Amino acid sequence: MHNHFKVISISHKTAPIEVREHMALNPEETFDILERIRDLFSLRDVLVLSTCNRCEIYYGSNEDLSEELVKVLVLQKNVENPKEFHGYFKNITDHQQAVEHLFRVASGLESQIVGDVQITNQVKTAYQLSADADMVGPFLHRLLHTAFFTNKKVVQETAFRDGAASVSYATLELISELTVNLESPKVMIIGLGSVGSDLCMNISDHKNFQNHQVLLANRTEAKAENLAKTCGFQAVPFETIEDHLVKVDVVVLAINSQDLLIHKSLLSKFPISNYKYFIDLGVPRNIEAGIEEINGVLLYNIDDIRSRVDETLKRRLASIPKVESILSEAIVDFGDWNKDMSVNPTINKLKNALELIRKEEITRYLKNASNDETEMVEKLTKSIMQKVIKLPVLQLKAACRRGDAETLIDVLNDLFNLDKEPVTPEKQ
C-alpha cells in the first residue's frame, strides 16, 4: 500500500516571524536540500515548500525521518543553536493526514491569510524544483496534479480567491496598481514589524515585482539587513530616509510611533516631477495628511487599505464550507487511485502471465499460418484476453477499496503462480 507519505512543517501557526525568516529558502537553497535528501536517504516523492509563512518538507518513506530532515534544513541555513528550532516544527507521520495537509496548504486554507492567491504558484514552483532534482515519483506527480486541478475548481466555483484579504497583501496589490506603468519602480518600506515584514516577504514571492527596487529601513538596522538579504532587497540606514524620499516612487510606513515621521514641510524641500505615493499603515498616523496639498503627491491610509480587506474576508470565510467540500471529494478520489496503485503490481503480473500463455499458444499453432491468418488470430486472442482479465481487475480494485484485497491477491497468485512474474514498472 502507498501509505508512506509524511511532512515536517514550520509555519505561522507554530513559529513567530523571527523564527520563520531564518528558515526561508530561495530556489538555489531548496534545490541543494533536495539533493542532500536524495543523497543521504535515497528518497523519492520529496517536495520542499518555502513561502513567507511556512517551510515544509513532504516526503515518501516508511520511516519517520523528521529529526533528520530538520537537521538538514537548519544546517542548510547555518543557524546558531539549531536545537532551539526543532520545537517549532510540526511532524505529520500519518499518510492520510499528510495528504490532506498538502491539499489544504495548496488551496490556501492553511495560509495566514485565508485563500492566499500566491500559494498555488509557490507549490508549482516547489514541484518544478523537485522534478528538476528527479525527486518526483508517480505518487507525488498524481497528488500535486490532483491538487492543482482541485484549485482550479475552487477558483471557478467559489469566491475563495477573490480580492486581497490582509493589510500587507492589500498594500502589495495597491503598490502593484500604482506602479503598473513604471518601467523600474522604486519602493521604500519603513518599519519592519509584523505588517512590514509580511509585506516584504509577499513582495519577494510575487512575480509582478521582479523589476521593482525595494529599500528597507528600520530603527533596528540588523533586522533590515537580515530581511533584505532574505528577500533580495536593499537595506538603508533609518537616519537616511529623507535622502531617499526624492528617489523613490512609493513610500510605505508600517511603523509603530506616536509621532509624525513625514511632514508636508519635508516634502516641500525638493521638486516632484512624477507622482509620488505614500501609504501610511500606522495608527496613529505617521504621515501628515497635508502632504496631499503638494502637486503630484497622493496619500493612502490604513482605512483605505482595510476597506479593501473587510469585504474580501467576508466572501472568503463564507466560501470555506464549499471549498472544504470540494477538497474532500478530491481527496477521496485521490485515495481511491492510491489504493488502486497498491494492486497494480498484481494486475500487471496477471496480464504478463496471460500474455505469456497467449504468445506460447500462438507460436505453437500458427507456425505455417499466413500473415492474414496470424493477424486475425492476434486480434481474436487479444480481445479474449482483455475480456477474461476485465472482471478480475474490477473485482480486485473493488476489494482494495473495501480494504480486503489481500485474500483475492493470494488467490490470483496461487492460480497463476504470479510470484514468478516480474513487476512491470509503474509509469507517471
Do 189 and 156 have their domain in common?
no
- Contacts by 259-263, CB closer than 8 A, 24 or more apart: 259/286, 260/285, 260/286, 260/287, 260/288, 261/190, 261/286, 261/287, 262/286, 262/287, 262/288, 262/291, 263/288, 263/291
In a domain, 348, yes or no: yes
Residues 190 and 153 both lie in one domain: no
Residue ending a domain, choose from 162, 179, 206: 162
Task: Look up the pTM and report it.
Answer: 0.64
Dihedral Cα 27, 30, 31, 32, nearest 10 deg: 120
* Least confident range of 115-124, 173-182, 313-322: 115-124
* CATH number (domain holding residue 272): 3.40.50.720
Question: Coil, helix or strand for 178?
Answer: helix
Q: Is residue 273 part of a domain?
A: yes
Q: Measuring CA to CA, how many Å separate 380 from each of 247, 338, 383, 384?
A: 80, 33, 5, 6
How many folded domains does the chain comprise? Answer: 3
Least confident of 333-337, 352-356, 397-401: 397-401
Q: Which of 52, 200, 231, 400 is catalytic?
A: 52
**Could you tell me which residue, 56 or 116, shows the higher pLDDT?**
56
pLDDT grade for 405, boundaries at 50, 70 and 90: low
Is the pLDDT at 247 greater than 80? The verdict is: yes
Would you put residue 134 in left (φ > 0), alpha (ψ -120 to 50) or beta? left
Residues 142 and 185 in one domain: no
Q: Does one domain contain both 124 and 219? A: no
pLDDT tens for 49-105 read: 998 789 999 999 999 999 999 999 988 888 777 778 888 999 999 999 999 999 999
Confidence tier at 342 by pLDDT (50, 70, 90): low
- pLDDT tops 80 at residue 403: no
Shared domain for 274 and 174, answered yes or no, is yes
Looking at the predicted structure, is the pLDDT value of residue 165 above 80? no
Residue 359, in any domain of the structure: yes
Structural domain containing residue 407: 338-420
| Contact predicate 97/19, CB 8 Å | no
Same domain, 48 and 78: yes
- Which cell numbers hold the place of 367? 507456425
DSSP state of 90: E
Among 162, 180, 197, identify where a domain stops.
162
Out of 134, 162, 190, a domain closes at 162
Q: With contact defined as beta carbons under 8 Å apart, do 422 and 352 qualify?
A: yes
What is the distance between the alpha carbons of residues 221 and 172, in angstroms, rounded to a whole number? 23
Give residue 1's pLDDT: 43
Is the domain of 176 the same as that of 279?
yes
CATH assignment at residue 149: 3.30.460.30
pLDDT value of position 355: 84
Sign of the torsion formed by the C-alpha atoms of 355, 357, 363 and 366: negative
In a shared domain, residues 278 and 342: no
Pair 39, 144 in one domain: yes
Specify whether the backbone of 296 is left (phi greater than 0), alpha (psi in -120 to 50) or beta: left
Classify residue 417 by burial, with Cβ atoms within 10 Å: 0-12, 13-18, 19+. Answer: exposed
Residues 298, 193, single domain; the answer is: yes
**107 CB neighbour count, 10 Å cutoff:** 28
Answer whether 47's CB lies under 8 Å from 7's CB: no
Residue 284 within a domain: yes
The whole-number pLDDT of residue 428 equals: 43
Residue 422 confidence (pLDDT): 60
Assess whether 231 carries a catalytic annotation: no
CA dihedral defined by 140, 34, 62, 67, rounded to 10 degrees? -130
Tell me the range of 199-213, 320-334, 371-385 where mean pLDDT is highest.
Answer: 320-334
What confidence score (pLDDT) does residue 172 get? 92
Q: Is residue 323 part of a domain?
A: no
Residue 149 pLDDT > 90: yes
Q: Is the pLDDT of residue 219 over 50?
A: yes
The whole-angstrom separation of Cα 139 and Cα 13 is 28
In a domain, 412, yes or no: yes
44 contacts 35 by C-beta, under 8 angstroms: no
Is residue 391 in a domain? yes
Together in a domain, 100 and 44: yes
Verify that 228 and 90 share a domain, yes or no: no
Tell me which of 392 and 414 has the higher pLDDT: 392
Res 336: pLDDT = 81
Residue 397 has a pLDDT of: 72
417 or 150: whose pLDDT is higher? Answer: 150
173 in a structural domain: yes
